[in-house]
Amino acid sequence: MTLSAAEAEQWIRRYRRPAPESRLGLVCFPHAGGSATYYSPVSAALDPSYEVMAIQYPGRQERRHTPCIDDIGELARQAHAALAGAGIGGPGRSVALFGHSMGATVAFEVALLMERDGTGPVVLFASGRRAPSRFREDNVHLRDDASIVEEIRALGGTDSRVLRDRELLEMVLPTLRSDYRAVERYRRGTDTRIGAPIVVLVGDSDPHATREEALAWRDHTTGHFEAHTFPGGHFYLEKQQEEVLGTVTEVLGRLHP
C-alpha cells in the first residue's frame, strides 16, 4: 500500500514544531476511542530533541466522516503506509513507537511491517495492554450502547462531559464499538516477534492488563525487554505523566544516545 504525502498527513498530527536538533521521532498510537490529541501533553512536556507525532485514526475529530477501520491488521497497514508516505521511519529517520491500550497492539503490528521493510523502530513502548498472545473472551463490541458507556466510565480516561452529552455520545459510540471490535478479534501467537526492544508500562491495578499479562510481551521480541509498573489503573499514565515521561526519556537516551 502506498499513500501520497498529502494522504499520509491526514494520519499524522504534530503539536509542536520540532527543534533543529531533533534526533529521533516518537510516534504515538491512541487507545480505543481515543484520538491523536490525547498525546498533545506529551508533545509539550517531552524534551524538544524528540519530535513527537501522534496517529489520527479514521472516524474521529476532523476525520469523523472517514469510515472507521475495525481490523487491527488493516489499521496498522494504513498507519504504516502513512508513516512511509510522510518519510517517517525510513533510512535516516529513526523512530520509536509508543502505544497505549489498543494503540500498543497497533504499534506492534506497525513495528512488524517496518521491520519487514528493513527499517524497524528503535524501541516499542507497550502501555496498558496485555501481550498479543494473551487472549480474553471480551465482547464489549456486542453490548448495547449503555453497557459500552459504563465500560468506558469504569476505565476512566474519557471526559465525563462527553458521557453526559447525548449528542457527543452518538458521535463517539460508533467509533468505540468499531475499535473494540478490532481489538477483541485480534489474535497473535508467541511465534510473532519483532527484533526491536519492547518496553512495557502498566498500572498496578489495571483491570484490562495484569502485570503477568503485560510481562508476556517478552515472548514477542528477540531483543531487549523490560517492564515498569506504576500506581493506577488503565489510564495510570494521566496521573503519572512525569514518571512515565521520565522512563521514556531514560530509555530513549539509553537505547538511542
Residue tagged active-site, from 35, 49, 94, 101: 101
What is the model's pLDDT at position 210?
Answer: 94
**Residue count (the chain):** 257
49 has catalytic annotation: no
What is the model's pLDDT at position 155?
Answer: 61
Spell out the domains of the chain, with CATH numbers in brackets.
Answer: 5-134+188-255 (3.40.50.1820)
What is the model's pLDDT at position 18?
Answer: 72
What is the model's pLDDT at position 15?
Answer: 87
Specify the pTM.
0.93
Calculate mean pLDDT across residues 131-155.
77
What is the model's pLDDT at position 149?
Answer: 74
More confident residue, 173 or 203: 203
What is the model's pLDDT at position 140?
Answer: 73
Cα separation, 55 vs 69, in Å, equals 14
Q: What is the mean pLDDT of the chain?
A: 88
Cα separation, 255 vs 166, in Å, equals 46
pLDDT confidence of 98, banded at 50, 70, 90? Answer: very high
Find the largest Cα–Cα distance for the chain.
50
Cα distances (angstroms) measured from residue 58 to each of 92, 169, 173:
28, 17, 14
pLDDT tens per residue, range 32-59: 988 999 999 998 899 888 999 999 999 9
